[in-house]
Every structure is written in C-alpha cells, then in structure tokens.
Amino acid sequence: MPAVKDLGDDTVHVYLNGKFVAEENAMISIDDRGFLFADGVYEVVHVYGRTLFEWDLHMARLQRSVAAVELPPVDLVSLRHVAEELVSRLDASESEASLYLEITRGTHRRSHGFPPAGSTEPTVLMWVRPVVPISRPTIEDGVPMISVADDRWAKVWIKTIGLLPNVLAKHKAQQAGMFDAIFIRDGMVTEATSANIFIVESGTLHTAPTTNYILPGITRQVVLELAAARGIAIDLTPFSYESLLDADEAFLTGTLTEVLPISEVDGHRLRHTSGPIARQLLEDLHRRAGWPGSL
Ligand code: PDD
C-alpha cells in the first residue's frame, strides 16, 4: 500500500492512492480492475463522534477478504493513520459518519488474469462522509421487508465489491415500497442486502450461522456478545422463512443499520413490529459505542 504522501487540504475527506484529495479530483482509471471486474474488497466503519467503532474487528475481516481474493497484504498501521486523519477533518457538527475503504487489484489493461507481478499497485480509496442517524419513528415503527431468492455466489463471506445481486434485491424491495429484501436460500433465511438478520422466538435469539453463505457482520458479532452479556439464550442454527414469519420479533444488524426492528415480511405483520429485545440491544450497542441512544 502506498505511504501517505500528501496531507492536502484539511477540508478533504477523500484519500486515494497515497494522497488526500478533493472529492472532484479523486479519479479512478478506466482500467481499474474494481471498475472492470469488481476485483476488490471493501469495509464500512461507523464513526461515532470521531471514534472508529470496532476498527480492529473490521480490519481483521478486511485481512480475511484480502487473503481470500489474493490481494497483497494490507498495511494496517498506514490505514489507521489515514482513517484518523480523515475523521479529524469532520466538522464538529458532523457527529456520525461512515468511513468507506475499498482496495482493488489496481489498474491494468483489461485481461481476466491477474496483472503480471510488479506491474501495478492496488488502488486504495478511503472516504468519510457524515450520515443521518436512523430516525426514532423508523425504529419505533420497524421497517417492512420482502423476501427474495438468495441467488448470490457461494463466497458471500468475502466482503467483495461485487454486489450486483444485493443491488437488484434492494431495488426490488424499494420498487415495492419496502425498506429492504431478505435473502432466502433453500427455505432458510441468510441475511438482508446489507445487514444480518435476527429473530426472537420465546426469548431465544436466532441468527444464521457464519457459513460461506452470509457476510459475518461485525455488528452481528457485537450484538451476540451484548445478548450473551444480558443472559439472552442464543441459537446459531439456520432458521426457516416460516419461523421468520412466526417470530415474536425480528431485526436487522449492520454498521449503518445498527439494530433495526422489522415490522413485516411479504405483507405479513410480525407479532412485535418493533420488539423489546431489539430496542434493548440497540441501547446496549450505543452504550458500547459511547454514544447517546436514539431511544
Ligand atoms: N454492509 N450482510 C451484508 C451482505 C452486508 O453488506 C453487511 C454490511 C452486513 C453487516 O455487516 P456489518 O455489521 O459488519 O456492517 C451483512 C455494509 C455496511 C455496506 O455494504 O454498506
């Protein structure tokens, strides 16, 4: 990974290949393999009041993704330095932000095989942008979902930038006036387009196990720890579409989604449209982030 060459203008929230640049000057080549082949990986980190939430867990997952697609190892010290520099450039009023990090196999004339060794450096992009927190009424009402067939590839556990199935599923949900789509594989619930899914049945929390068919969410992991700390029973065996419909409550977890209650699935209202365990876990998550809750 290139060293940081230029600290640039301190209003700039974009880093590209060793430089902090104004957004309009952040240019990617037409030969970038991320653009041509989705040949790259990414991470999204929630920034709460300039603190990078669970940075080490995100970096550990990034390293697994990088190794899985045979990119060169990343320099975590340099990435942390860049991240802190970008976050320090946020306005004081920008209290919550998202940090996006993408690494592609670099720029080379289009050819499916990897570029010859030494012919290109990975493209490294990072930006930080303010986010509007999910509103209190949305949390109180829960969000409506549809289900779709999970026709993604068998390496969903790698956080690659190849997200077209997720994009199409989200679009289908939005076309139907719904918030998001839930992927169903062989009758079992895997996850949503950019979040994991939990259900609560008779006080027990269920979420899909970490197989190759889900993205092992950092928020999922944190929520499991928070639930265990509360003494909530946890079951990590696959659960079916029918048990989702029959659940006492269901919710999404994700870096920007946090813990978000689900109100209905395919027009079927859940017993609790914004359940007590989801709200409790959202509060715990905010406490862990050192953040005033939205409830
Ligand atoms: N998405 N499942 C999928 C398919 C995801 O894309 C994500 C995250 C998650 C939740 O993972 P985490 O808790 O680590 O954010 C689950 C990010 C936020 C995105 O694509 O924007």
Distance CA 220, CA 199 (A): 12
Q: In testing the pocket of ligand 1, which one of 41, 43, 44, 134 has its CB within 8 Å of the most ligand atoms?
A: 44
Q: In testing the pocket of ligand 1, which one of 215, 221, 257, 259 has its CB within 8 Å of the most ligand atoms?
A: 215
**Ligand 1 lined by 217 (C-beta under 6 Å):** yes
pLDDT at 9 over 80: no
| Residue 54 C-beta-side C-alpha neighbours within 13 Å | 24
Distance CA 154, CA 89 (A): 39
Residues designated catalytic: 159
State pTM to two decimals: 0.96
pLDDT, tens only, 141-193: 999 999 999 999 999 999 999 999 999 999 999 999 999 999 999 999 999 99
CATH topology (fold) of 136-289? D-amino Acid Aminotransferase; Chain A, domain 2 (3.20.10)
Rounded alpha-carbon distances, angstroms, from residue 108 to 26, 73, 119, 274: 18, 19, 8, 49
- What CATH number is given for 3-132 in this structure? 3.30.470.10
Q: Whose CA is nearest to atom 20 of ligand 1?
A: 194
User: What percentage of the chain has pLDDT greater than the value 90?
Assistant: 92
pLDDT at 12 over 80: no
Say if residues 9 and 86 touch (Cβ distance below 8 Å).
no
pLDDT, tens only, 55-74: 999 999 999 999 999 999 99
Distance CA 273, CA 127 (A): 35
Label the pairing between strands 180-185 and 143-149. Answer: parallel
Question: Which residues of the chain are in CATH 3.20.10.10 domains?
Answer: 136-289
CA angle at 286 for the pair 212 and 53, rounded to the nearest 5°: 55
- Which among 100, 79, 85 has a CA at the least distance from the CA of 34? 100
pLDDT, tens only, 95-128: 899 999 999 999 999 999 999 999 999 999 999 9
Report the pLDDT value the prediction gives residue 293, as an integer from 0 to 100. Answer: 56
What are the strands, taking DSSP E only, across 142-244?
143-149, 180-185, 188-192, 196-201, 204-207, 233-235
Q: Whose CA is nearest to atom 9 of ligand 1?
A: 195
Average pLDDT of the chain is: 95
Residue 230 tokens, joined: 């509360």
Question: Which residues of the chain are in CATH 3.30.470.10 domains?
Answer: 3-132
**Ligand 1 lined by 191 (C-beta under 6 Å):** yes
Ligand 1 centroid distance, CA of 215 (Å): 7
Q: Which atom of ligand 1 is nearest to the CA of 191?
A: 2
